[in-house]
Amino acid sequence: MNILYINHYAGGLKYGMEFRPYYLAREWVKNGHRVRIVAGDYSHLRTENPNVEKDFQIDMVDGIEYQWIKSGRYAGNGVGRLLSMIRFIAKLYFNVTRMIIDFKPDVVISSSTYPLDAFPAKKIADSVNARYVHEIHDMWPITPMELYGMSKWHPFVMIMQIGENYFCRNAYKVVSILPCAKEYLVQHGMAGDKFAHVPNGINLADWSSLADIPEQYKNTIMEAKREGRFVIGFFGSHTKSYSLDILLKALSKCDQNKLFVAFLGNGNYKDYLIKLTDQLKLDKKCYAFFDAVPKIAVPSFTALLDACYVAAINNKMFKFGIGMNKLFDSMMSGKPLLYAVNAPNNFAEEYDCGISVEAENVDALVVGINELLHSPPEKLLEMGNNGKRAVLSKYNYEALAKMFLDAVK
């Protein structure tokens, strides 16, 4: 089967986030399918962007065809990013013949964070009588409305709503990372039998990698452990969504001589967090900020931790559930979770793999931290093992790739 997978921000092990398209595609290729990922030449999520000399350039990466669209660079979430979206969608929509001249897809998947790629995806699918599938990562336009306070009458929100309504009415299947989105999508025109839930997960090969974090990072964490500190770690993009400021505020109310918090990654919220440590007058020996590392080095980071922090802001957009990659990587690490997410699917409770507290509640997080501090080692080990077993049995990409294709066949 030929699978055309459209994701503006798609990355991979070579480029960094976003990883899901790469992991699914690699499994499909292993099973004899031909996969072409169509992505923009620039993404704010990637650690490295490709060198693209012309539109529709194709590069081979681990057996996957990457077809690049010159969508342009941007900074932040302003006009520049919107123009990048428009360029990406317009070039796809008006170059259907060019898209299929050497690749006749059986399935066309639109999968960018925003829903406007539904229009070119449906047009491409119709041109070759292929099945059109839409994949949901985040719920747009609800996400920008909730995160940035946009009105439903804001032109950007209205355009995104048109895109959402379009894929609800026209997709053969709607595959959602979020488990509880079905009822909402039905209200926007989707037939109930079109919905399929395929969560995120882990790639087993990443966890057999020998890639290491920089020696400086390792030495800093090991020094904290030698001082008898309990090490809590966060890895991933430093954005407002992940309640990293709440963790720092909770740290300021704990016994800082017994704790060390390691932040691994980059993001637009990182500078604010560093300034916040000064405002809170935190002991500099109880925290550290490290730059991002390749994803295959994350296991080396989590191996040094005593617990992984998985949290999100207390927001209506999580009523559809959560499925963030870092959740499954944290569970796979075999370390207990410090979990602060207000969502209907609570992994820490469902699998007894961590301490769950109320989202965005500093005092509740302090209680959770202290509970971890005073838990016997065998209890921490048991919680960590519970999470790892759940991931290995249910949330690995070999199984998820099969689940996806079974849903759309």
- Digit-by-digit pLDDT tens for the chain (409 residues) are 999 999 999 999 889 888 999 999 999 999 999 999 999 999 988 889 999 999 999 999 999 999 999 999 998 778 899 999 999 999 999 999 999 999 999 999 999 989 999 999 999 999 999 999 999 998 888 888 877 788 989 999 999 999 999 999 999 999 999 999 999 999 999 999 999 999 999 988 889 887 999 999 999 999 999 999 999 999 999 998 899 999 999 999 999 999 999 999 998 899 999 999 999 999 999 999 999 998 889 999 999 999 999 999 998 778 899 988 899 999 999 999 999 999 999 999 999 999 999 999 999 999 999 999 999 999 999 999 999 999 999 999 999 999 999 998 8
**64 vs 28: CA distance, rounded Å:** 9
In a domain, 264, yes or no: yes
Find, among 191, 212, 227, 409, the residue nearest to 303 by Cα. 212
If asked whether residues 169 and 272 sit together in one domain, one would say no
Number of domains in the chain: 2
- Residue ranges making up the domain that contains 224: 205-394
Among residues 127, 162, 197, which one ends one of the domains?
197
DSSP letters for 12-76: BTTTBS--HHHHHHHHHHHTT-EEEEEEES--TTBSS-----STTEEEEETTEEEEEE------T
> Whole-model pTM?
0.84
The answer on 170 and 261 residing in a single domain is no
Query: Residue 384 sits in a domain of what CATH number?
Result: 3.40.50.2000
Q: Which residue has the tokens 């637009």?
A: 268
- Which residue from 332, 348, 311, 324 is spatially nearest to 385, judged by alpha carbons? 332
Residues 21 and 168 in one domain: yes
Does 408 map to a domain? no
Does residue 399 belong to any structural domain of this protein?
A: no
* Domain termination site, one of 144, 162, 197: 197
Pair 252, 283: CB distance under 8 Å: no
Q: Within this chain, do residues 60 and 181 fall inside the same structural domain, yes or no? A: yes
The answer to whether residues 240 and 151 belong to one domain is no
pLDDT at 298: 94
In a domain, residue 346? The reply is yes
